[in-house]
Amino acid sequence: MEKKIAVLPGDGIGKEIVAGAIEVLKVVAEEYNHQFIFEYGRLGGEAIDVDGTPLPQATVDLCKDSDAILLGAVGGPKWDQNTPALRPEAGLLAIRKELGLFANLRPVQAISSLTDASTLKKEVIDGVDLMIVRELTGGIYFGSPRERREENGQRMVVDTLSYTNEEIERIIRKAFELAMIRNKKVTSVDKANVLESSRVWREIANEVAKDFPEVELEHMLVDNAAMQLIRAPKQFDVMVTENMFGDILSDEASMLTGSLGMLSSASLSANGPGLYEPAHGSAPDIAGQNKANPLATILSTAMMLKYSFNLIEEGNVIEEAVNRVLEKGYRTADISEENTKLTSTTEMVEQVINEIKEISKAK
């Protein structure tokens, strides 16, 4: 199979983890006789510095002309004081919008050899397997007006949370479709006791549910959901929610896996290329030190192989290789504990590659 992959490393650890993930994809291509063609584009802070904009047109064109996109992370202190349109994050939001990537899937799976790395109790997280489905191109991230102004000597600010029924329906439908191939339960997370947008969200969830009689739908207020994720995470199968709620809940849920550095994601549109990226950011505090955990990005490439290329076996091989490496005790600093082997980014990548070769040799 021949596929063209747009690669947007971004800023900070983005460059380190993407370099590792590309090595992994190259080995998969070699072992399983595929051709992956990688073409690089700039996004975020680096693009601001070189092109004067966080999302150059060349990057949009490259992405649209690719079969899938691999993204690292954007942002850093260097650009934090920039005007809103010249922030790295604006480029990320713009590429999501431009490509219609409305469905952000963030799988949260406890890996048994890692349950001790979590700050939570082993019995709480053992066996956790849930999927956060985050609406990604609407809601409070994109509503207008967004403004600040002076009024009577006060700083007035406005952010707007807006949705159309179509935007809500398609993301909820996605959640139900995923539930059908998982454990047939959808938890729709909202703030319907306060927000009008949430009341309409709830209405639409009830309507969509009628098309999926086998799936159980429950509604949960977002503050309670945040607590339940820590109290009893095994109650969840698919959680579907508004853009910002999903952003917050997914970082929280990452701790069920042991680290934010383990959480992969896929951002999907109705019919264009999917974008695959770790849920975490550019981690300026550890950038350039060969310390970052590359596994979230490597696991994102497994999602790419499965969701965009239908290469199920190859995706499974990457996941299995990651499991084996963790079982052998290799740990980047974010997941290290006593009696484990402290491992750099590049060593971790090498270990994963070795396991992939072993698995493919044995087949």
Judge contact between 104 and 241, C-beta under 8 A.
no
Q: What is the nearest approach in angstroms of ligand NAD to the Cβ of residue 165? A: 28
76 and 116 Cβ atoms separated by less than 8 Å: no
CA separation for the pair 85, 96 (Å, rounded): 15
Q: Is the C-alpha dihedral spanning 326, 256, 231, 337 positive or negative? A: positive
Q: Burial level of 87, CB count in 10 A (0-12/13-18/19+)?
A: buried
Site for ligand IPM contains 314 (CB under 6 A): no
Query: Would you state the structure tokens that stand for residue 76, as one six-digit string?
Result: 């850093």
Q: Examine residue 89 and tell whether it contacts ligand IPM (CB under 6 A).
A: yes
Of 190, 191, 276, 330, catalytic: 191
- The distance of closest approach from Cβ of residue 55 to ligand IPM in the complex, given in angstroms and rounded to an integer, is 12
The smaller minimum CB distance to Mn ion, of residues 242 and 355, is found at: 242
286 binds, among ligand IPM, Mn ion, ligand NAD, none (CB under 5 to 8 A by kind): ligand NAD
Query: Which of 25, 279, 318, 325 touches ligand IPM by CB under 6 A?
Result: 279
Under rule CB under 6 A, residue 247 binds ligand IPM: yes
Size of the site for ligand IPM (CB under 6 A): 7
Residues 6+ apart with CB under 8 A from 313: 32
Q: Is 87 annotated as a binding residue?
A: yes
The CA distance from 29 to 337, in Å, is 33
Residues 61-80 that bind ligand IPM (CB under 6 A): 75
Of residues 247 and 314, the one with the C-beta less far from Mn ion? 247
Binding mask 210-249 for Mn ion (x = CB under 5 A): -------------------------------------x--
For ligand IPM, the closer CB: 1 or 94: 94
Can you say how many angstroms the Cα of residue 131 is from the centroid of all Cα atoms in its chain? 11
Give yes or no: 307 in active site: no
Q: Annotated binding residue at 296?
A: no
* Angular region, 41: left φ>0, alpha ψ -120 to 50, beta rest: beta
191 is catalytic: yes
Q: Which is nearer to ligand IPM, 169 or 251 (CB)?
A: 251
Contacts 24+ apart (CB under 8 A), 225-232: 225/187, 225/189, 225/249, 226/252, 229/253, 229/256, 230/120, 230/124, 231/124, 232/124
Which residues are marked as active site? 141, 191, 223, 247, 251
Residues within the annotated binding site? 76-89, 96, 106, 134, 223, 247, 251, 281-293
